[in-house]
Amino acid sequence: MTAKEEWAFPRELQPRAGEVDFDLSAALNAVVALRADVPEDAFTASILGTERTGNGVVIREDGLILTIGYLITEAETIWLTANDGTVVQGYPLAYDFTTGLGLVQPLGRLGVKPLMSGSVALVEIEDDVIVIGHGGHAHALKARIIDKREFAGYWEYVLDEALFTAPAHPEWSGAALVGDDGRLIGIGSLLVQEQVDEDTVHGNMFVPIDLLAPIVDDLVGQGRRAGLARPWLGVYAAEVKERLVVSALASGGPAERAGVQPGDVVLEVGGQRVSELAPFFRAIWRLGPAGTDIPLVLFRDGARVDVKIHSAERGDFLKKPRLQ
């Protein structure tokens, strides 16, 4: 018995065919298991690990798979497993840092029908949805939308609008969020704690599917979105008591090389006062593309510290996929 077969949601939490107006079986089968092996010397190995497991969703007739990008970044090998036990190797086509989405091309036939895309514009708070992980009914969860709002991640990441669901799916990475029309509306990214009324609930954050359409052709054809890359500093920051504090730094990254230190309080970016993550990152990105010098005003040990960080392109620090 595999680890995937050893657990299941209670039957009352699993969706059933008679409860939906679409082909539930086809939707369940469109989600495959994904395992990525990453070299120990990879830039992200110490943060994300060298053995990463999650899910992917078949989204095109040619087998193209959509997942969350952190699963496949710097992957040396990728294995994909369908619900019927078919296993094929995959190739990491792209990881888009702006959206967080990743694409994988199977190197064999999975024999899986694609899950068609919907839109978050048609989804409202309190709507019923289904979160699907690989493994069929046992790993599909009836949930609801509890919020739609901006999300900022400490790793220099902002979504104008993300989807938040509850209850939480324990294998959320790359899971499919499906609306009541059976269409894909989001890709699982995080486990989160959300405040609902006066209660704190565990849930998941999903990247909206709408972000893929404008960039998918570039990602498939070029391995990246068109245009110049955003500047990256390698700063991990957190909001602490209405202050923006540097919690850690990417080893060897631009900020570390410029002398930024954990514990520094960020006061300004390019003359703009900041105290929250999203405005901080957007202020950086407005100054120019990767390679732009980013002036910061910091507060350290009771004194003002001015630094100028020569930004970089994040992808330059990562191992590139090898042709199979």
* DSSP string for 44-73: THHHH-SEEEEEEEE-STT--EEEEGGGTT
Domains of the chain (ranges; CATH) run 1-227 (2.40.10.120), 235-317 (2.30.42.10)
204, 169 Cβ separation under 8 angstroms: yes
Give strand pairing partners of 237: 246
Q: Which residues contact 85 (CB under 8 A, 6 or more apart)?
A: none
Radius of gyration over every alpha carbon of the chain, rounded to an integer in angstroms: 20
Per-residue model confidence as pLDDT tens for the chain (324 residues): 344 458 999 999 999 999 999 999 999 999 999 999 999 999 999 999 999 999 999 999 999 999 999 999 999 999 999 999 999 999 999 999 999 999 999 999 999 999 999 999 999 999 999 999 999 999 999 999 999 999 999 999 999 999 999 999 999 999 999 999 999 999 999 999 887 777 888 999 999 999 999 999 999 999 999 999 999 999 999 999 999 999 999 999 999 999 999 999 999 999 999 999 999 999 999 999 999 999 999 999 999 999 999 999 999 999 988 765
DSSP state letter for 211 = G
AA identity, residue 310: H
145: burial class by Cβ within 10 Å (0-12, 13-18, 19+)?
buried
DSSP H or E segment with residue 217: helix 216-222
